[in-house]
Amino acid sequence: MQIHFILVEPAVPENVGAAARAIKTMGFNSLRLINTKAHIDEKASWLAHASNEILENAQEYKTLKDATQDIDWIIGTSAKKRRVNEDYYPSDKINNLILAKANTIKNLAIVFGREESGLTNEELKLCDIVTSVPMKTTYPSLNLAQSVMIYAYTLSMLDYEIKKPDQKTDQAELNILKTKTKTILSDIGFKEDSNIYNRIMERLMILGEKDIHLLLSIEHKILETLKNN
């Protein structure tokens, strides 16, 4: 599994540099940046401290949608609970969700929002799940680089458990399940902008590998029935 760290419109070069350092320290190498040039500021280089190749190789995109076209599973981070997502998962629980999905994920992205305002509702809708770091107090909140470090450390725990080259990668089944579910929901009258539609798709993305296989079998029968009626 390849894990990508995505920073959306970071404004403070020092935060980007410190984030790059955190990513490298925890054994990762993929940094994607949305609509920013903060990483080319010398202040970012100062804070990166021997992690400058992460900044130099960072991929740049105009929008989060552009940056996640090749991603199988997108984890959004947020300090505030918003209505756009029903479930928020604590940072220390996301590894369990990832492990349950086994080989259905080839490319995973974790997305961090702007220093001042975080991710927009539209950006959160692009995420399959949303996570936050549990804190004892509301203020002072974590800054961007601190959040990246926490998640990089958490995700580094997955390394030896999911990088098994002899296993077949079948993340395509998750994409098939998403497509079939959308077809069924459309056929029975649920619109994409309805709350129930979004809720079903949100819950779909936390299914484990065994549940994905089971639901695919059920949906195949449902689609056959709908086709014959």
pLDDT attached to residue 228: 76
pLDDT attached to residue 174: 76
pLDDT attached to residue 164: 47
pLDDT attached to residue 166: 40
Write down all domains in the chain, each with its CATH number in brackets.
Answer: 2-162 (3.40.1280.10), 172-228 (no CATH)
Q: Which residues of 131-156 are buried (b: 16+ CB within 10 A; e: fewer)?
A: bbbeeeeeeeeeebbebbbbbbebbb
pLDDT attached to residue 165: 43
Position of tokens 């098939």?
Answer: 176
φ, ψ dihedrals at 108, nearest 5°: -120, 140
80: DSSP letter? S
Q: Based on C-alpha coordinates, what's the Rg of the chain?
A: 19
pLDDT attached to residue 163: 46
Per DSSP, which regions of 78-159 are E strands? Answer: 88-90, 107-112, 129-132
* Coil vs helix vs strand at 48: helix
Report yes or no: 123 and 8 within 8 Å, Cβ to Cβ.
yes
Beta-bridge partners for 7 = 33, 112
Token couple for 18: 């410190």
pLDDT attached to residue 137: 74
pLDDT attached to residue 84: 56
Calpha distance 24→53 (Å, rounded): 9
Per DSSP, which regions of the chain are E strands? Answer: 2-8, 30-34, 59-61, 73-77, 88-90, 107-112, 129-132
Calpha distance 12→33 (Å, rounded): 13
Q: How many residues does the chain have?
A: 229
Question: Which parts of the chain register pLDDT below 70?
Answer: 81-86, 102, 138-140, 159-171
CB proximity list for 96: less than 8 A, separation 6 or greater:
none
Tell me the torsion sign for CA atoms 205, 192, 78, 61: positive
* Coil vs helix vs strand at 114: strand
pLDDT attached to residue 27: 92
pLDDT attached to residue 141: 74
Q: Half-sphere exposure of 157 toward its Cβ, with a 13 Å CA cutoff?
A: 13
